[in-house]
Chains A and B, each alone.
Chain A
Amino acid sequence: MHDVLRTRVNDFAVKLANVNGTGSASANGLLMQAIFRMGIPVCGKNLFPSNIQGLPTWYEIRVNKEGYSARALDYDLMVAMNSQTYDRDIKEVRPGGYLLYDSSWPLDPDLHREDITFLGVPLAELCNQNFEDPRTRILMKNIAYAGAMVATLDIDMDVVNTLLDEKFAGKKALRESNHKALLLGYQYAKEHFECPLPFRLEKMDANKDKILIDGNTATALGAIYAGCTVAAWYPITPATSVMDGFKGFCEQYRKDPETGKNNYLIIQAEDELAAIGMVLGASWNGARAFTSTAGPGLSLMNELIGFGYYAEIPAVIVDVQRVGPSTGMPTRTQQSDLMLAAYASHGDTRHILLFPANPHECFRFAVKAFDLAEQFQTPVILMSDLDIGMNDWVVPRLTWDDAYRPDRGRVLDAEDLEKKIGKFQRYNQEDENFVAARTLPGVSQKGAYFTRGSGHNKFGGYTEIPDEYQEVMDRLKKKHAAAAKFIPEPELASREGAKFGVIAMGGCDQAVREALDVLDRQGTTADYLRVRGFPFGDVVERFLAQHDFCFVVEQSRDAQLRSLLILETAVPKEKLRSVLVYGGFPLSSRHVVQGILSQL
């Protein structure tokens, strides 16, 4: 007997194969949200094409009562709604699993598999009989299969009905057709199949303090709470929804009740060269400003990121990484901008990076990025990725401390300048973190200085004298190193009897944690360190020193995190082994387990 046939509650994976642009996303989101509202740990991954309409797209839902939320590669149920991809979709169902398809048309007998159960629902027929308008017939097919899933998986019908009522609160006709379609699928499944299937859902109470949010929305919210007022950007997948989210929140929270005017300005720039320029201009002038982009945009921004570094101007850059090089695969995920970001721009440059692992951290680290940028007067890059940024994640509720005030760093005001004897010297008299005070335009003539990307001495004056140039460059290096104490501490998970270490960052976290549990149960025990920012600090150094060898799990061909660790810590190269998953889909624990075991 296949294990899939044994009754399993709240522990299975569903994959939905759709055609993009046909309205499937809202049906899939509805299912995911319903499971979330049932209090069950769930994760959804949208594997979509770089296209608007007509190409294959998949959505995966994994339910796991233990809370594991990385991708599962074993699909108990495949909802095959795209005849173009029947072939591979049917192959992906685990032995003993189920396949739900539209039986309005016969299935090619060649595609038949003995070891899985085919559940045919005549979705097109049902919708054609019940709806008039051709577009509605297509859209409602999605809700109809959702209805069939409600029956087969034991999703709480009341929860789904409530969600539909909320979603279509002001749209009676749409609400009614959605309810009707849902019921069509539901009833058909109830009448024709043994419901529920051996794997099913049961209400839990795991999500009381959780929310369902994508990383880009959370990042945008972080920018709002950080007090950011100026944003400049150029549209790019997968970062666009950061600015969409920021705009939405601004419209909600930044319309001044007294003046009726906007307490923000968002500029859609002509390109990323300009977007980063605008951020630097605004930050130089004292506003909190940010831009959001992806790899191709980060490449273009290199020129002025170097300017910001050398002239010491704060800037927050959100990089929602996608697959490179070049245009790469815009709708697929990777962590391959790391080296570019760490040393962006020509000449000797190094930047502060933050690595959020989920939307909760996107929110917190976005705020942190603004503080660090102003504290250290330098560009800070928040390294998100498509998986974190665009997928809905179940994460702990966001919290806020009302005592928070932005750390604006060392800025002299008119009063400070009035007290000042002699000329203001921009890069002189650094503090213990090697940061010198800056002044803002429009405050006092006594604070006037010249900002320049050309060689300058500590007084801010132009120089071509080696010693003067080096003095500033050496301080900049020390300033970057000093930031290590202020970036979020790495996360450590130690286990008794660990034989080696595993290191990861960002969106690899969930898969690595699950993999380490699997390995532990099999007798292979490892410690885990998740780095959350660059420059690396003492905790990273200690972890590397304490282990005979470490695996670095990451999503790039060239093992960029491993490279950065070798360059920036004392670890000998041979102590670091790689597990690399870089095809563009989020990784699963199986990739990590296999990657580690094959090298032991």
Chain B
Amino acid sequence: MPSIAKPVATHPTLQRNALGLTIRDYEGSMSTLCAGCGHDSITAAVIRALWELDTQPHMVAKLSGIGCSSKTPTYFLSGAHGFNSAHGRMPAIVTGAAAANRDLLYIGVSGDGDSLSIGLGQMCHAIRRNIRMAYILENNGVYGLTKGQFSASSDIGSKSKRGEPNRMAPIDPVKLSLSLGATFIARSFSGDKEQLVPILKAAFTHRGFALVDVVSPCVTFNDHEGSTKSYKHTRKNTLRATQADWVPPQSEILAQISKSGTTAVTMHDGSVVHFSAVPKDYDPTDRRKVAAYLDEQPANAVVTGLLYIDPSAPDMHELGQSSPTPLRDLAYEKLCPGSAELERMQEEFR
């Protein structure tokens, strides 16, 4: 995708994180998306979350498929390797990359076309394998790059720019992933940075597949009256199920002073996610209750928050019992049985 390099100028008073890096160090090229695109807000939230987490830029790999959403890895973290793959194939590329090196943070960026149509199968199987990755689904309910066709997440009755209503039921990535056994499911809104940043921090910390479905209005093709993915409609119908606060490891004091009535979930690295559930009794660790809650909400409600989490489920490497050293770093001498063994083993081929 085309990109424009950003001027390198850092204000001396910019705050630095534990690595001594400013937020500018987590940026990428200038966005070439339309002005006001929800995706750019998500990019900003990703940058903020990575900076706050003191992430080493080169320990991140950012991957995507094809579509407007998939352009965005260019716009953050220029110090990380990027991979703009083929349409709907990002999950497979991440799966292979994660197989080779389990030590990196994999951020997959996709859209509703990339994930829910052409790449639906791959997304489902990445969930099944519990690949350790943050999967950000920038969901605008429309095909932007090909100019305005409905996508598989378009709601029934939502109108296209020409006024034509969509008649087919949408695929809801949250309900779908819950039924597939995803271990981290969140939904947010590109316009709600306060909610999105902590969710992303939790997703980047999660050891397993973290789905973050972000409603992200398309200002050019799906922000009109009658659209159910417009800024106006989303703001009006958002229903916060939870507010999550991510607390880093070894910050027990902070954790203790958090508000009463919150649920604390300890992540694998020792960090804690505190949920303040907006509806009474919402338990993000109880799959059945989450499913029931989602089913009870009105059809037009955009339920947001970190909706479900299971921090203990084994990821692909634990399921596969694979080496703690990244496979790509194993010395060849460890991998080759050698000539003497070849000689011996061939007695079995006689």
Contact = CB atoms under 8 A, between A and B. Distances in A.
Interface in A460-476: 461-462, 464
Interface string B250-277: 0000000000000000000000000000
A269 B95 CA distance: 10
Contact of B92 (A259, A274, A450): A274
Given A232-B96, A400-B342, A449-B81, A212 B349 contact: yes
B169 interface: no
Interface residues of B, number: 61
A307 B85 contact: yes
Nearest to B88: A273
Contacts of B89: 273-274, 277, 303-304
A280 B85 CA distance: 10
B320 A442 contact: no
A281 B89 CA distance: 10
A261 B331 CA distance: 15
A265 B99 contact: yes
Interface residues of A, number: 74
Contact of B350 (A37, A228, A287): A37
Interface stretch (B156-164, B241-249, B333-341): B333-341
Nearest to A278: B96
A224 B346 contact: no
B234 to A, nearest CB: 30
Interface in B307-350: 316-317, 320-324, 327-330, 332, 334-339, 341-343, 346, 349-350
A25 to B, nearest CB: 17
Nearest to B320: A265
Interface string A229-273: 110100000000000000000000110100101111111011101
A400 to B, nearest CB: 4
Contacts of B92: 232, 269, 273-278, 281
A7 interface: no
Given A211-B349, A229-B328, A281 B342 contact: no
A204 B330 CA distance: 46
A269 B320 CA distance: 14
A404 B100 CA distance: 22
B291 interface: no
A465 to B, nearest CB: 11
Contacts of B322: 261-265
Nearest to A214: B349
Contact of B104 (A213, A399, A442): A442
A262 B323 contact: yes
Given A211-B350, A441-B61, A406 B99 contact: no
Contacts of B96: 230, 232, 267, 277-285, 289
Nearest to B341: A253
A286 B335 contact: no
Interface stretch (B72-80, B178-186, B292-300): B72-80
A285 B100 contact: yes
A273 B122 CA distance: 9
Interface in A391-417: 397-402, 404-406
A153 interface: no
A530 to B, nearest CB: 24
B278 interface: no
Nearest to B335: A227
Contacts of B329: 286
A428 interface: no
Contacts of A519: none
B238 interface: no
Given A286-B100, A448-B79, A263 B85 contact: no
B346 A253 contact: no
Given A36-B350, A269-B125, A454-B84, A281 B324 contact: no
Given A441-B80, A444-B58, A451-B84, A282 B335 contact: no
Contacts of B97: 281-282, 284-285, 441
B82 to A, nearest CB: 4
Closest 10 CB pairs of A and B: A281-B96, A277-B92, A278-B96, A287-B100, A441-B81, A445-B79, A282-B96, A285-B100, A286-B328, A281-B97
Given A229-B335, A283-B100, A452-B84, 20 more contacts: A224-B337, A256-B323, A270-B124, A274-B122, A277-B85, A277-B91, A277-B92, A277-B96, A278-B95, A284-B83, A285-B100, A286-B328, A303-B89, A406-B332, A440-B328, A441-B61, A448-B58, A450-B82, A451-B81, A464-B2
23 contacts: A211-B349, A229-B328, A232-B99, A261-B324, A264-B322, A265-B316, A267-B99, A270-B124, A274-B91, A278-B96, A281-B97, A285-B96, A286-B101, A441-B81, A443-B58, A445-B79, A447-B81, A448-B78, A449-B82, A450-B83, A450-B84, A452-B83, A462-B3
